[in-house]
Homo-oligomer: A and B are copies of this chain.
Amino acid sequence: MKKRFLLILSFLLVFKFPTFAQEAIFRAQQITSPEIHEDQSVTFRLFAPDANAVQITGDFLPTVKMETQMGTVDGPGKADLTKVENGVWEFKSQNLSPELYNYSFIIDGFSTTDPSNPFLIRDVASVTNIFIIGGGQADYFKTKDIPHGTVSRRWYDSPGLEMDRRITIYTPPGYETSSKKYPVLYLLHGAGGDEEAWISLGRTAQIMDILIHQGKAKPMIVVMPNGNVIQDAAPGEGSLNFYKPVFMAPKTMDGTSEANFMDIIKFVESNYRVHADKSNRAIAGLSMGGFHTMHISRYYPDTFDYMGLFSAAIMPREDATNKVYTDIDGTLKTQMDNGYKLYWIAIGKTDFLFEANKEYRAKLDSMKMPYEYVESEGGHIWRNWRVYLTQFVPMLF
């Protein structure tokens, strides 16, 4: 045993922690952060013996007022960590309500991740840590010991875009062994997102597994394409390989994505056991994905029976030259006349797109185009979009 222990110790010292002195290694390794307590408070810890000041920022802290070009808005708060002993800094939060939260540390003004927490999410080019306070709504975001669907990254051929493109597809538990046909939800990401966004930030697989297991949602296929038509795949996963992602890639909102959406539907309907009809197709998306949902569903006005606009980026399109953005009112009317089962609009009260959505609803009202409307607390954040997904999916099919 001793020989084996020494081998492992040597391995650890040499290959895992080459940059620390040995004492520091073990101190850093012994740190637990975040530590979630019974009362749902959380202690965050950082080993930073040479730091002068350590702060934490994250969406679990009370928001603070910030001045921007658009006026005063709410931004995430900050809190100071206290140096406790042996170079360790600590902060204990209030008791938190159930949610998936994210946070970063700020060490002497430098924003960085928590080295004790390997659970990270990338949003555009920013990487932050995450943790979950379970219970209530947040239980949909945890992996449960129940039957699981399969998550595949496949590549489909887009003749319109002249490339093979990566796509994330969730098939429900039992898909592979049944002979049944399934309905399909097309689920679209926002600006700066890609085919990884809904499955990682959105916890789509966890949410779908649980809703299906509870009998609240029908077993369905969820298709998560990449709406950035200049990419064949998410940053780091495609033929552009590694580069710094930007928030607004070119050609994301110029009609190209919408005009080539049928390539995706054709791929899905010729490669999966699906009911290939309007009553078995839903489309939804967040922010830019809500914008795409709005435009795709009226541009192909007899294709989907269910639409979900989550914090949709209803933005002026006067700069658009693509045919997709012509005759918007006419195609909306055609979509209405063709009929559908659900046109669902959800937005947070403090979302910077709240007014734009209000104007859009006024337009629909004036056309007598039916929709359902959910107004939540909060703003333009993943926290809302995960909840919207859990609300939208049970209404489908």
Binding site for B on A (CB under 8 A): 1, 3-4, 6-20, 32, 48-52, 57, 66, 68-70, 73-76, 78, 104, 106-113, 115-120, 122-127, 130-132, 142-145, 147-148, 150-155, 163-164, 166, 176-177, 191, 232-233, 235-239, 241-242, 244-245, 247-248, 271, 315-316, 319, 352-353, 379-381
- B residues within 8 A CB of A11? 247, 352, 380
Q: A10-B69, A18-B57, A118-B125 are in contact. List 12 more A-B contacts (CB 8 A).
A: A7-B70, A10-B70, A10-B352, A14-B74, A16-B124, A18-B66, A18-B76, A19-B76, A145-B163, A148-B164, A151-B153, A154-B176
Most B CB within 10 A of own CB, among A51, A73, A143: A143
Count of identical protomers in the assembly: 2
A176 touches B271 (CB 8 A): yes
Question: Given A7-B315, A132-B241, A144-B239, A115–B112 Cβ distance below 8 Å?
Answer: yes
A69 touches B127 (CB 8 A): no
Which residue of chain B is the closest to A124 with respect to CB atoms? Answer: B16
- B residues within 8 A CB of A57? 18-19
A127 touches B120 (CB 8 A): yes
B237 touches A143 (CB 8 A): yes
Question: Given A164-B145, A235-B118, A113–B113 Cβ distance below 8 Å?
Answer: yes
Question: Which of B68, B132, B244, B245 makes the CB contact (< 8 A) with A242?
Answer: B132
A3 touches B316 (CB 8 A): yes
A125 vs B30: C-alpha distance when bound (angstroms) = 12
Most B CB within 10 A of own CB, among A15, A74, A124, A232: A15
- B residues within 8 A CB of A144? 239
Which residue of chain B is the closest to A8 with respect to CB atoms? Answer: B248
Question: Could you show 22 A-B contacts with beta carbons less than 8 Å apart?
Answer: A3-B316, A4-B316, A4-B319, A8-B191, A10-B70, A11-B247, A13-B68, A14-B379, A16-B124, A17-B126, A18-B66, A19-B76, A20-B111, A48-B108, A113-B127, A117-B244, A118-B125, A118-B127, A118-B235, A132-B242, A143-B237, A150-B153
B152 touches A247 (CB 8 A): no
A191 vs B177: C-alpha distance when bound (angstroms) = 33
A147 vs B154: C-alpha distance when bound (angstroms) = 10
A245 vs B7: C-alpha distance when bound (angstroms) = 19
B78 touches A19 (CB 8 A): yes
B108 touches A108 (CB 8 A): yes
Most B CB within 10 A of own CB, among A78, A111, A117, A352: A111
Question: Which of B6, B120, B237 makes the CB contact (< 8 A) with A69?
Answer: B6
A108 vs B57: C-alpha distance when bound (angstroms) = 21
- B residues within 8 A CB of A244? 32, 116-118
A135 smallest CB distance to B (angstroms): 13
A115 vs B127: C-alpha distance when bound (angstroms) = 7
B76 touches A241 (CB 8 A): no
Which residue of chain B is the closest to A55 with respect to CB atoms? Answer: B19
A131 smallest CB distance to B (angstroms): 6
Most B CB within 10 A of own CB, among A14, A126, A132, A164: A14
